[in-house]
Amino acid sequence: MPVENPDELESVDQEIRISELKAQAAELTGGQMGIFEDGDAPPELLEEFWKSVVETEKAGWTTGRRQMEEDGVALPPPDKLDDGQIADKLRELLDRLARRCTYVFHTDHMSDRQLYERMWDDSLNESFSDRPVKPGYGGYFIDLVGSGSEEHTYLHHKYYADEKNRQDWLEEWPDYDMPAHEDPPYDRDRTLPKPPEVPGGPKWY
């Protein structure tokens, strides 16, 4: 009797595992999955991808505010804090978020009070997966000029975009009223907690 090729057996087993993960994901989402799968991706990556989808759906959803409540971090309304208290509270908040692998960037156009108000009113209320982030594998990111709105696009080009980015944008959108570059009025971003760098991985800040 011929001996089966172990590599072929593992390949079949892997296809079965991937199919089972897809079925789990479909069940967890009620069949409402809007996921693009790269058909050219190696099976090892596909299996890890579908594992992450299943883990994410099983974990449920949370918000930064809920996480801070769980960690015992008080979040007073901005109008209850003076400027010194705002600065201290903001540092505590950003440090605590980083411990939860949530990182904030592009903040140098905002004062401490403006940033805390934005976090309190908006960013801390956004939902994301409650799935734990593996150490050294990035995290969640809050980009204060990343919504894609006209205002954020303008602020990005005014304060953060390099000249190549600005010129590339004008090539694509020649009628865009590109603002003159200005240095941001604050110098906070370089001091903020950063995610661990993954060799060969993207830099989000």
Tokens 């172990």 correspond to what residue? 6
Q: Longest C-alpha distance within the chain, in Å? A: 82
Enter the pTM of the model. 0.72
Does pLDDT of 186 surpass 80? Answer: yes
- Note the pLDDT tens digit of each residue in 105-129: 999 999 999 999 999 999 999 988 7
- Note the pLDDT tens digit of each residue in 73-113: 999 999 999 999 999 999 999 999 999 889 999 999 999 99
**C-alpha closest to that of 86 among 195, 3, 188:** 188
User: Which long-range CB contacts under 8 A does 172-179 form with residues at least 24 apart?
Assistant: 179/154
* Cα–Cα dist 162/158, whole Å: 9
Break the chain into its structural domains and give their ranges. 6-59, 62-191
In this prediction, residue 1 carries a pLDDT of 44
Please, where are the H alpha helices in 4-130?
Answer: 6-28, 43-59, 64-70, 83-99, 112-121
Residue pair 95/191 in contact (Cβ under 8 Å)? The answer is: no
* Cα–Cα dist 36/50, whole Å: 11
Average pLDDT on 177-200 reads 87
